[in-house]
Structure 1
């Protein structure tokens, strides 16, 4: 222990952060061990540059100078069918893995557990994790293949997520084909001094390193190495709060692999923004490289700009559905090129001088995080596929209103209602076009409308009906 302490202290002194061990003599052996482990999980050698660049100075990293609209792929039916055939071949060969970013808690929804355990479907109330597990099982059966599932948790929900999977017998999936691993963490820094903050005498104040940290988490966990050993070369990335996200999409995969505008490194999906003030990032070309400009960084006049057909010029909304090449992810980890973004937040901290825990009234600390879309300009060529919002994007983020459980359930009923209508079922809708019944179709029943042809369907669905297929 003494050697570990001495080595750690030297590393901390080298980056001018030795004060985090100021309470060392007051800690018991277990607290000392925990603090040393926490400190040594940090790349201390990188801290001085991070503090100088992102804490003590305010470099603005978003490139908003003269952005241009990107080229977006909107394939016709014949082109989509060709992409799908190619994508199905890649899936069938076992070259695609599913990757879910699932570090969030359900706190904002009034749910006392990991967000992935939230009951999301309109009739049976299936948890989000089961929705995706059924998609994976159905796709594995349809294409007679193995689809490994990688799930990034967080320090806050890793244990509860593992327990949930175990309690549900891994949703019937082969245990060897599911890997869970936690997201990385970064220290919180005092906004004035750049010092790493303590939350207690024996624990650093830490925060998750952002969804961009998912790439380094894949590497750190051994997932990328495992993928390479299994012959997986494509990662299907999606977030846990979007139950209509396709886990594997043959059209998208085929485009990513074969389209001339794609280098097979990083491709994305987009939906047209519903209004200028919809708070989503937009894909743009900046200095001939594809980027995502966040809503808060986009000049108001560009948000409002429309073409001669009345469509927003900058409308390519990012919905966090991506395909990553495994080799590209490995290269990103080796080069460590993703930029850090600063956020000023209120962070409770332990004052070493007074020996008290402080609850700040105003933002006092800098949190650093990375974004997955910052890998876009690092790819050779990145393709963007336009998809229909009603089919692929119905996130659960807020307790009420837009992007809420209620709006998500309605979106699912609308989607599945349209599937049934395409097979001749009379589905009642209101004046706004919303289905007035609750409809849920498991992926194990059908992954698309055509698969309903072998299913016994009702002749009609009326207001208040609850239909589960």
Structure 2
């Protein structure tokens, strides 16, 4: 250890305070702390801070005059595209999968803090009849889309799964997958890698200490993906497998379709090197970012960056002008990913700033837990690379079919385990109805397709099932059907009493269970 050299570097960068407890540390603590401090680029960190403070300074600036609507020729919609064209996209996507040209990449660095749990979100069970976690649902969708591609082309294929974790989620995620035998996937086709960390910094530019021998660090955001892809050799692994297209998504969306063939096919058909799946904004002031153009370049603009007048602007057909709600579901070609992961391009991505209450050690060595924001965390966003796109594609899907995020504990207004479970059950019920199934009460009478607002108190007899008044509990395993295909041969003409569960047994036969334990 050359502590004098390190001290000089820190002093020059205005971060000399990081060594103020050095003399009181043990030899072991000195070794690890020296390694941590010596690995940091303080010129770069200070530059990030200066740019971040400029971002904060202009946080209230509005972009209204710079915004441009999405060109019609880059947009497509599941509701405004005929069935034959959607089938064409689906086939094109499945052919790419069958050619071993597609990978899926999961952004899974977040912990379940807002859910009230101390483990990764992907390990969460929202209360489905099967008890499946988000990770298991996603793994089974990958298995099924591989099977669908093989059924179309008679080619065996693999969709490798890359999972970006954080310092806090990598180890428990590894253990979880190993303990569940990778949910039927092959271990060599599931790759975990870790996003990088950045120091937490006070408003006057000083790096915080978490304790006397460790810097306070935070993940660098899901936009840290591009740096991590290169440093972890994931890009090299993708290239060695012959990957041409990568589907990127977030762990918390219970309705996300891994390697969605329709989305892939649409983007491939457009010749896009970058694409975004979106949902139509529910109302003008919905707190979601919108995909649009800013000064000729594609971008996601946050709701706080535009005025109410612009948010409410409508086209002649009555639809919102800026209505493409971002759901963090993206398509990239391999060439595009390589380009944006190059240090020269990646360094151009701006840091977004969050004011936070950051626990830290003060000059007396005491742990301080502030009650007000005392500094910033800096992060990049995965969609910040859109402005590098030379050929862009935007595919609009139905929110009720493809977007239900898990963010909050039950009791919150939205995005809870209950809303996620209900949304998935609603999707599966609609899949079965479209396949010719019926849902019935215990007395055999059909449950209306559109749920009643009637409450149990209104019913009077107290004998109806809770499903009639809340949700029709219906779960179709992804191993049975990826998006409704193949269900008609299984359920057409049959009546089901909720709760309903369709699973595959070990022999590959569909096992149907219904009408069990559904009394209030």
Is the shorter-chain TM-score for this pair beyond 0.5, marking a shared fold?
Answer: yes
Partner of 2:430: 418
Partner of 1:259: 270
Q: State the alpha-carbon separation in 2 of the partners of residues 95 and 435 from structure 1.
A: 43
Partner of 1:128: 134
| Contact 2:432–2:491 (8 Å) recurs in 1 | no
Match of 2:284 among 272, 276, 290: 276
Match of 2:452 among 425, 431, 441: 431
**What per-residue deviation string (whole Å, max 9, x for no partner) do you get for residues 73-123 of structure 1?**
223323322222222221111111111111122222233311110013632
> Cα offset for 1:379?
1.3
Partner of 1:341: 352
Matches within 5 A, 1:90-239: 90-120=96-126, 122-143=128-149, 144-191=156-203, 193-239=204-250
Match of 1:372 among 364, 373, 382: 382
The change in CA–CA distance for 1:60 and 1:325 in structure 2 (over 3 A counts) is: farther
**What per-residue deviation string (whole Å, max 9, x for no partner) do you get for residues 264-318 of structure 1?**
2x21011101112221101111111111111222212112223344322221100
Matches within 5 A, 1:310-329: 310-329=318-337
> Cα offset for 1:226?
0.7
Q: State the alpha-carbon separation in 2 of the partners of residues 310 and 16 from structure 1.
A: 55
> Cα offset for 1:397?
1.1
Match of 1:249 among 260, 285, 289: 260
The change in CA–CA distance for 1:96 and 1:276 in structure 2 (over 3 A counts) is: same
| Contact 2:126–2:418 (8 Å) recurs in 1 | no
| Contact 2:200–2:377 (8 Å) recurs in 1 | yes
**What per-residue deviation string (whole Å, max 9, x for no partner) do you get for residues 178-199 of structure 1?**
11122211101110x2011101
Q: State the alpha-carbon separation in 2 of the partners of residues 282 and 418 from structure 1.
A: 28
> Cα offset for 1:7?
4.8
| Contact 1:56–1:194 (8 Å) recurs in 2 | no
| Contact 1:54–1:341 (8 Å) recurs in 2 | yes
| Contact 1:55–1:366 (8 Å) recurs in 2 | no
Q: State the alpha-carbon separation in 1 of the partners of residues 500 and 88 from structure 2.
A: 37
TM-score in terms of structure 2 length: 0.84
Q: State the alpha-carbon separation in 1 of the partners of residues 222 and 50 from structure 2.
A: 23
Q: State the alpha-carbon separation in 2 of the partners of residues 200 and 28 from structure 1.
A: 13
Partner of 1:299: 307
| Contact 1:200–1:350 (8 Å) recurs in 2 | yes
> Cα offset for 1:148?
0.8
Higher radius of gyration, 1 or 2: 2
The reply to whether residue 35 of structure 1 matches residue 69 of structure 2 is: no
The change in CA–CA distance for 1:112 and 1:364 in structure 2 (over 3 A counts) is: closer
| Contact 2:142–2:159 (8 Å) recurs in 1 | yes
| Contact 1:15–1:47 (8 Å) recurs in 2 | no
Partner of 2:400: 390
**What per-residue deviation string (whole Å, max 9, x for no partner) do you get for residues 19-46 of structure 1?**
2122111112222232233334433331
Partner of 2:76: 73
| Contact 2:64–2:306 (8 Å) recurs in 1 | no
| Contact 1:410–1:434 (8 Å) recurs in 2 | no
Listed as ranges, the gaps of 5+ residues in structure 2 are 150-155, 440-446, 454-467, 504-520
Listed as ranges, the gaps of 5+ residues in structure 1 are none
SS of 1:455's equivalent in the other structure is helix
Q: C-alpha root-mean-square deviation of aligned residues, in Å?
A: 2.2
Match of 1:451 among 451, 474, 486: 486
Q: State the alpha-carbon separation in 2 of the partners of residues 328 and 37 from structure 1.
A: 34
SS of 1:123's equivalent in the other structure is coil
| Contact 2:358–2:374 (8 Å) recurs in 1 | yes
Partner of 1:60: 58
The change in CA–CA distance for 1:80 and 1:11 in structure 2 (over 3 A counts) is: farther
The change in CA–CA distance for 1:81 and 1:300 in structure 2 (over 3 A counts) is: same
The reply to whether residue 332 of structure 1 matches residue 346 of structure 2 is: no
> Cα offset for 1:371?
0.7
SS of 2:404's equivalent in the other structure is coil
| Contact 1:256–1:267 (8 Å) recurs in 2 | yes
Partner of 2:465: none
SS of 2:378's equivalent in the other structure is strand
SS of 1:319's equivalent in the other structure is strand
Moved more, 141-150 or 431-440: 431-440
The change in CA–CA distance for 1:29 and 1:333 in structure 2 (over 3 A counts) is: farther
> Cα offset for 1:245?
0.5
The change in CA–CA distance for 1:310 and 1:95 in structure 2 (over 3 A counts) is: same
> Cα offset for 1:6?
4.5
> Cα offset for 1:414?
1.2
Count of residues in Structure 1 that have an aligned counterpart in Structure 2: 461
SS of 2:68's equivalent in the other structure is coil
Q: State the alpha-carbon separation in 1 of the partners of residues 68 and 30 from structure 2.
A: 53
